[in-house]
Structure 1
Amino acid sequence: MTTEQSTRALHLAEEAQDLLFREARTANSFSAEPVTDEQVQAIYDLVKWAPTSMNTQPLRVLLVRSPEAKARLLPLMSEGNRAKTESAPLVAVLAADTDFHEHLPTQFPHYPGAKDNFSDEGGRVEFAKFNALLQVGYFILGVRAAGLAAGPMSGFDAAGVDAEFFADGKRKSLVVVNIGNPGESPWFDRNPRLGFEQVVETV
């Protein structure tokens, strides 16, 4: 199947396919144009509908806006990520709430007794991280759907961020995402993607 045939096989409009995937890039510099609270809420109100295991929704989002908060975050970013983070008008620290089960209903209509599975702390933490990482992917697509550029990064001192911003110990940082409109020379050269035959196997 050609790329054109693949494009036509999808229900999503071609312009939306380009916005979310083909033409979307990870920005490495940002303009000074602000990201509004309304944009952030619209992003969340869209991506909250995406699936997590048993609808547990463990993702938590810390928005770093003020110069004072950014000054606390920058030393915890890896050296190669500091300049781009400093230039971003908004930075989101995406974290997993390891006590997500406290926000769940007492009874799961489709999973009787499921809440009892979260009594083991070790298993609960891994479950929270896995499902929050699913939501990280949705969040990045939501940023793109808002017409903004996202710069997700794993290069930071996670333990340091947790100590600085999540002192209660319940949230574990996973990814830091710079958000905004692209600035000057924002893109690195695009790396190739694996082809269908390299990834997909039918049995």
Structure 2
Amino acid sequence: MNAPTGKELELVREKAQADVRELRGRIGRLSDDGIDLILRGARSHYAWMDKPIPDALLHELYDITINGPTSMNTLPARFVFVKSPEGKERLAKSLKPANVAKMMGAPVTAIIAYDLDHWKQLPYLFPHEDRRHLFDGKPEYSNDTAYRNGTLQGAYFMIAARALGLDVGAMSGFSNEIVDEEFFAGTSLKSNFLCNIGYADESKLFQKLPRFAFDDVCSFA
């Protein structure tokens, strides 16, 4: 993919700037209800209703998630939607016993992974300047970029799911090594965390745990 130049570049930049101005003019901020839905009133869930998620909704979820910003537009996250009985059995091998039922009961469990070879896609994702030299032969920097930005994309994924009316329950109580052996053997992908997705059974919730106040963890410099 070639980057636009000259007059074409000027036009696409003008359109991008106009699109942002139009969006800001149309939506100044989310409503309090919207903020409650995606973060303030949202909860992590561990029990699920027997209600499937259409594949079209998973496609929509991805289409929203992929628009979140990442360093140099590297977009290193990769998503495996585990929904078949066979896939669930393979994933169950990696889980701590207390998490097996949580995963098995969810309509879909997403493996949020990241690609160590993400930088090889930069000619497509960052076409106006070849930055592959920043990563080639520098595995520590490449891996750090992949993990950090893949984690960011995982957070966008969870917020996007909530915005679409889904519930989520992220899990880290599993063996990354087993997941990688089962799902990513022979590839450049590594698992980060798991996220159950579905329609929650809120009757299993307990009270929301405490949060820090602003002055406890924030400061000005």
TM-score relative to the length of structure 1 = 0.90
Provide the residue aligned with 1:86 in structure 2.
Answer: 104
Match status 1:156 vs 2:187: no
Provide the residue aligned with 1:170 in structure 2.
Answer: 188
Q: Is the 8 A contact 2:83 2:107 kept in 1?
A: yes
Provide the residue aligned with 1:126 in structure 2.
Answer: 144
- Give the C-alpha shift of residue 177 in structure 1: 0.5
Separation in 2, partners of 1:39, 1:140: 14
Between the two proteins, the alignment pairs up a number of residues equal to: 193
Partner of 2:194: helix, strand, or coil?
A: strand
Provide the residue aligned with 1:22 in structure 2.
Answer: 40
- Give the C-alpha shift of residue 15 in structure 1: 1.1
- Larger RCO (CA under 8 A, 6+ residues apart): 1
Provide the residue aligned with 2:132 in structure 1.
Answer: 115
Q: How does 1:36-51 map to 2 (within 5 A)?
A: 36-51=54-69
Separation in 2, partners of 1:107, 1:184: 40
Partner of 1:76: helix, strand, or coil?
A: coil
Please list the CA deviations of residues 42-100 of structure 1 after superposition, one character each: whole Å capped at 9, or x if unmatched: 11111211110011000000010100110111121111111110100111000011111
Provide the residue aligned with 1:70 in structure 2.
Answer: 88
- Give the C-alpha shift of residue 184 in structure 1: 5.9
Match status 1:135 vs 2:136: no
TM-score relative to the length of structure 2 = 0.83
Q: Is the 8 A contact 1:107 1:113 kept in 2?
A: no
Q: Which amino acid aligns with 1:74?
A: A
Larger Cα Rg: Structure 1 or Structure 2?
2
Distance change >3 Å, CA 11–CA 106, structure 1 → 2: closer
Q: Is the 8 A contact 2:73 2:126 kept in 1?
A: no
Distance change >3 Å, CA 65–CA 34, structure 1 → 2: same
Separation in 1, partners of 2:186, 2:165: 34
- Give the C-alpha shift of residue 200 in structure 1: 1.6
Q: Which amino acid aligns with 2:91?
A: L
Distance change >3 Å, CA 69–CA 107, structure 1 → 2: closer
- Give the C-alpha shift of residue 114 in structure 1: 2.2
